[in-house]
Amino acid sequence: MLLPMHSLLDEILDFVFPPRCAACRSRGALLCASCCAACRPVPDTANQDQHRRLASPFLASTAGAYIFEGPVREAIHLLKYHRRVRIAVPLGDLLARYLAANPLVVDAIVPVPLHPDRLQMRGYNQAALLGRRLAQQIDVPLLDRQVVRVRHTAQQADLNRVERRANVHAAFAWQSERRPPPRILVLDDVLTTGATVAAVAQALHAAGAQTVHALALARGL
C-alpha cells in the first residue's frame, strides 16, 4: 500500500501554507538545502567493515548512505512514525545523490517489506515510499509486491545481533510467477546489523537473482 506523495491538493496547501523543513522547521521545503547539505555520508570504510562483519553470501555489498543523526534522523522519524509521507521525496533524492557518487548497476529496486499486519496498522511501507522516489530518479523499476514477509517477526530494535538473524530467518519469500531480474538493490530506511536485508537477499537468490546489493538511507556509527 503506497500513499500518494503529491497531488493538486498538496500544491494548493503548499501555496497557502508553505512546508516546513523536517529538521530545522524553516519554511519553504520539506527538507531545506542547508539541512540536506548537513547530511553526512557514511564513510566507505565503515560500510565495508559492516559488510565484512555481516558475512552474507547473498549480498554483494551492504551500505548505509548517511549517518543516522541530525536532519536524516529527524526526517526518518517523521516519515516512519508521524505519517509525513511526502518527506520520502527529498529523502529519496538524497539516496539518488548517494548513488550518483557511489554507483551500482541494478535492474530493479526491492524495498524491505512489512508484515501485512504492520502494513495495515501503519498504512504504508516507508521503505517502499523511499524506493518509489529513488526508482524514478535512477530510472529502474520498483518491485514492491513481489517479495513478501511470510511470517511476523519481533521488532529488530529489541534484539541483539544473534537474535536479529534468527528473528528474520526464512521470514521473506519471492511470490511472483516471473523470476526476479538478475541485479537487484534491496532498500531499507535504517540499517543496523544488516540481518533483515540479508534475509531478503537470500529469498531473492532462492528465486533466481544473481547479484543483490543492500542500501539503507541511514545507519548509525
* Start-end of H helices in the chain: 8-16, 33-37, 44-54, 70-81, 88-101, 116-122, 126-138, 161-168, 195-207
Domain map (residue ranges) of the chain:
8-219
Q: Is 35:24 a contact under the CB 8 Å cutoff?
A: yes
Comparing 37-41, 134-138, 170-174, the range with the smallest average pLDDT is 170-174
The pLDDT of residue 162 is above 80: no
The pLDDT of residue 52 is above 90: yes
pTM beyond 0.95: no
Q: Is 106:184 a contact under the CB 8 Å cutoff?
A: yes
So what's the pLDDT on residue 106? 98
Confidence of residue 16 (pLDDT cuts 50, 70, 90): low
> Looking at the domain 8-219, which fold is it?
Rossmann fold (3.40.50)
- The type of residue at 123 is G
Give me the percent of the chain exceeding a pLDDT of 70.
85
